[in-house]
Chains A and B, each alone.
Chain A
Amino acid sequence: MGFGSRGVTKLDYAKMLAGCLTYLVHRQRDRVGLVAFDSDIVAHVPPSAKHMDVVLHTLDRLTPSAPGRLREPLHKMAEHFGRRGLLVLISDLYEEPDAVLEAVGPLRFRGSDIIVFHLLDPAELDFTFDSPSSFEDLETGEQIPVVPAALAEQYRGLVRAHIDGLTERFSGSRIDYTLVNTSAPLDHALFSYLTSRERLTRVR
């Protein structure tokens, strides 16, 4: 989540998005909490109507850390959070769609509404690299030499397929899924979420 091709990393964007949602929920006098995780939970603010500043401060202190995984932290959340509520998952979802669904599933089964914001940088979506380079995984440090011109098209196809897979699985599980391009303004992402949220609410 520490990657950003245009000055704003995905983590920054996620923090801003989470902050905005916290503010909105707090304005509605609902309780809001925060769980930050990588391969484990790294920060936890229990839901409360009075913890907005704590949530915002916690968000502010978040930095990229260990490689992330969805299953263990989400399952732990499912064990500890028994009350029904609204769960907003903000992640770049670099796992197989089935693995993502399997990680999110237990939370859904407890009756919570789940909203998934899939954050991706424009470089991850468009793969606009041109010179042969060695690509290094930010989480694992693994490097592989890549000639972008030779595989850009295939890469973009794989990303689209991944997004399509996630969309299909989340919609089948009645989980709100929104792909967010971090180059788009934050209000645009929130507005499109709120609009779809309102439409779904009427349908239900």
Chain B
Amino acid sequence: MSFLTPLFLLGLAGVAVPVIIHLIQRERKNVVQFPSLMFLQRIPYQSVRRRRIRNWPLLLLRLAALALIVAAFARPFLRKQTLAAAASGGAREVVVLVDRSYSMAYGDRWTRATAAGRNAIGALGQADRASIVFFASGAEVALRSASDHGRLEAALVTARPGSGATRYGPALKLAGSIASESSFPRREVILISDFQRSGWQGAEGVRLPDGVVLTAVPVGDAETANASVTPVSMQRSSFSEQDRVTITGGAVNHGARAISNLEIVLELDGRPVQTEHLNLEPNGSASVSFTAFSPAAQGTRGTVRIAPDALPLDNAFHFVVAAKQPVKVVIADRPGSARDSSLYLSRALSLGEDPAFDVAVKSIEGLTQDDLQRAAVVILNDAPVAAAAAERLGAFVARGGGLLVAAGERAAWPAAGASPAVADVLPGAPGPLVDRTQGPAARLGALEYGNTIFEPFRAARSGDFSSARFYSYRSVVPAKGAQIVARFDDGAPALLERRVGNGRVLMWTSSLDLAWNDLPLRSVYLPFVHRMATTLAAYRDKPSWLTVGEVLEPARPAAVPGATRAASPRVVLTPSGERVALDGEGPDVLELAEQGFYEVRGQGRDAAPAVTVASNLDLSESDLSPMDPQDVIAGATGRAGGAVEPGANVTATDQEQERNQRLWWYLLFAGIIILAAETFFGNRLSRTGTVRV
């Protein structure tokens, strides 16, 4: 008999303590001197000179009940070996895990891997079943629980190494679930891989079910020689008002031998434009900067490529670089305003770099439809808006434009009798002026740091809005659906936001010049104006490349003016030439599975221009350093010292044996029954026996 929690057995000692104390306890010597015991001696009573245990059976019953309960808490179990099915009998459920990461394309690893897979299939018995699972960063079942050797081999030979990096965790989890669902007595997982160190972090949290045998089939090489490119870096500059980009590319030598005169080429739009040479020390790296070039407005495809070696997949790095497109902003002043009435606003925006802002200042009366077509953001700087202009601005916002309204003294918006396209645009109706010139000036009291406008200012010492003083502002009643993004110290809204159609509207309830506050004199003014304009333009910094395994989520294009239908479906062209439709009925995302350039194309007459996305390998896979397969086996099975031979005795863990036997339940039940019996008999005896004194 073994115990899962043997420390509880110490409680058995406690059971004997009251009995011992009872037996050794002497009578208390409280002596009362009395004149005569003549009368006391006449009273018939039983002297309690010494407490002796008179009812041993009852005491033993009580002790037995307590002992059973204590033993139940100690979780006893009978330790025994559970034999796996004999080698001569019992079908096997086999899961063949084949590593398909791009490192398997090194040398003849893939050939050896498929050969090992065929051997495993050939060793299957008539009653055995096998599943073929390919894995890289994720795992995929090619064929599940099949006994047809032909089908199994076909699933194996048609596969090729992919572009993913190695992760053993998902594959082992999938194999474990297949094994646990099998009713076969024998279950085995065969892991065929080059056992790269980068694929196993050790704390995967994977544990195969008990009784599953894990066999490792390494197909790696003791010595490897591989060089891979490094991610490129870009430096932007401007020359003659043209955007210039300098690409710096490099390579890493993962081998133990130096590489001299390695050719590295910069390709633009598929054509080699410049060739350099690198010398790499063993396990070293080097880089080189290419001549600057001007990227095309729609984007230029670039590739940095080194000479091919035993693993050619990691010898190219792709990117897309486009000329900077400034965000077009139109500032609409009120009629008759001074020329420099938007000075602070325009100067602040003109200092923008990423993105840059192309600023035009016009009178509200001169704001044309063409202006609205070209602009991404319109700023109404304390301008009264007539009904017609309000209609155009409403439509501008609905199709994706951004509108910032600085509600100064003269700002006005048609309300009474206005159409919904006009009335439901602003985040609130500007109200009366609030004068804070008497007494302390107003300050910004609460900022919504979760909003994209103020999010960069969340960290300490990243901008102090509280130092700005506000002498006047407009009271505003927020409209339905509007959010208050900033408040003054008295709780009045300072900045409100509202989504309208595909665009959004911001309302600033004070001025954006020095008329009503000194915010333009504060250092936060410039980044604050940039954040508002960037948010209104929905500007997103497009990455120059993504990594295989990431998800491509093409931005949905804005609705074309006058279009009555929803945006047309799109198609993604993969690097291998496959077409994947994003027709809007399913998710509009695509997992990048290949290295190269993906192209997102719209379909139809109104389709937006094509967008190119570069996809690169996870270059950590280029480090071919191997690990000991026993580390994976020990981590996945909990058994150190190597895999267990198929057919050997398999012992369940103590916890599993105890859980299966559940002896504690029987002991506890027996203890409770005996306690009940002891109580019953004890009560009966106390009623019939003499009074003890």
Residues of A within 8 A of B (CB): 1, 3, 10, 92, 94-95, 121, 124, 129, 131-140, 142-147, 150-151, 154-155, 158-159, 162
Contacts and interface: CB of A to CB of B under 8 A. Distances in A.
B40 A124 contact: no
Contacts of A155: 39-40, 43
8 contacts: A124-B35, A135-B34, A139-B35, A145-B48, A145-B693, A151-B45, A154-B43, A155-B43
Interface in B378-425: none
Interface string B13-49: 0000000000000011111111111111111010111
Contact of B30 (A94, A95, A131): A131
**9 A-B pairs with the lowest CB-CB distances in the bound complex, closest first:** A3-B35, A94-B36, A133-B30, A158-B39, A133-B32, A137-B37, A135-B34, A151-B43, A134-B31
Nearest to A2: B35
Contacts of B34: 3, 124, 135-138
Given A158-B39, A158-B42, A144 B31 contact: no
A151 B37 CA distance: 13
Nearest to A9: B35
A3 B33 contact: yes
A150 B38 contact: no
B670 to A, nearest CB: 38
Contacts of A135: 31-34, 37, 40
A38 to B, nearest CB: 13
Interface of B: 27-43, 45, 47-49, 691, 693
Contact of A132 (B30, B33, B41): B30
B47 to A, nearest CB: 6
A10 B38 CA distance: 17
Most buried by B among A95, A133, A140: A133
Contact of A134 (B27, B39, B41): B27
A54 B49 CA distance: 49
Given A144-B47, A147-B693, A136 B39 contact: no
A138 B35 contact: yes
B36 A150 contact: no
Contacts of B42: 158
A146 B40 contact: yes
Given A3-B34, A133-B30, A145-B27, 12 more contacts: A121-B35, A124-B34, A131-B30, A132-B48, A134-B31, A135-B37, A139-B35, A144-B41, A145-B47, A145-B48, A145-B49, A147-B693
A200 to B, nearest CB: 30
A147 B32 CA distance: 12
Given A135-B40, A146-B40, A129 B32 contact: yes
A150 B44 CA distance: 11
A123 to B, nearest CB: 8
Most buried by A among B30, B34, B42: B34
A93 to B, nearest CB: 10
A142 B35 contact: no
Given A145-B27, A150-B693, A134 B37 contact: no
Contacts of A3: 33-35
Nearest to A161: B39
B43 A134 contact: no
B31 A143 contact: yes
A32 to B, nearest CB: 28
A135 B693 CA distance: 14
A129 B39 CA distance: 15
Given A158-B39, A159-B39, A150 B33 contact: no
A150 B42 CA distance: 14
Contact of B35 (A94, A133, A134, A147): A94
B31 A136 contact: yes
A172 to B, nearest CB: 23
A67 B648 CA distance: 93
A124 B49 CA distance: 24
B242 to A, nearest CB: 111
Contacts of A10: 35
Most buried by A among B31, B39, B42: B39
Contact of B45 (A92, A150, A158): A150
A139 B36 contact: yes
Contact of A94 (B29, B38, B48, B691): B38
A134 B30 contact: yes
B37 A162 contact: no
Contacts of B27: 134, 145
A166 to B, nearest CB: 13
A133 B29 CA distance: 7
A193 to B, nearest CB: 22
Nearest to A153: B43
Nearest to A134: B31
Contacts of A158: 39, 42-43
Contacts of A162: 39
Contacts of A92: 35-36
A95 B28 CA distance: 31
B33 A136 contact: yes
A141 B565 CA distance: 120
Nearest to A152: B43
Contacts of A147: 45, 48, 693
A64 B31 CA distance: 19
A70 to B, nearest CB: 13
B74 to A, nearest CB: 40
B515 to A, nearest CB: 97
A138 B39 contact: no
Contacts of A124: 34-35
A134 B48 CA distance: 10
Nearest to A1: B35
A198 B29 CA distance: 50
Contacts of B30: 131-134
Given A133-B32, A134-B27, A147-B693, A142 B37 contact: yes
A162 B154 CA distance: 118
Nearest to A10: B35
Contacts of B31: 133-136, 143
A163 B36 CA distance: 15
Contacts of B49: 145
A136 B32 CA distance: 6
A133 to B, nearest CB: 4
Contacts of A136: 31-34
A94 B35 CA distance: 9
B30 to A, nearest CB: 4
A146 B37 CA distance: 10
Contacts of A129: 32
B38 A151 contact: no
Contact of A150 (B35, B37, B691): B691
A92 B41 CA distance: 17
A138 B35 CA distance: 5
Contacts of B28: 132
Contacts of B691: 150
Contact of A137 (B36, B47, B48): B36
Nearest to A94: B36
A142 B32 CA distance: 11
Contacts of B43: 151, 154-155, 158
Given A145-B27, A145-B49, A151 B40 contact: yes
Nearest to B693: A147
Nearest to B47: A145
A129 B41 CA distance: 16
A27 B35 CA distance: 34
A102 B48 CA distance: 37
Given A134-B29, A150-B693, A144 B40 contact: yes
A94 B693 CA distance: 26
A12 B252 CA distance: 118
Most buried by A among B31, B35, B42: B35
Contacts of A154: 43
A144 B37 contact: yes
A94 B43 CA distance: 16
A158 to B, nearest CB: 4
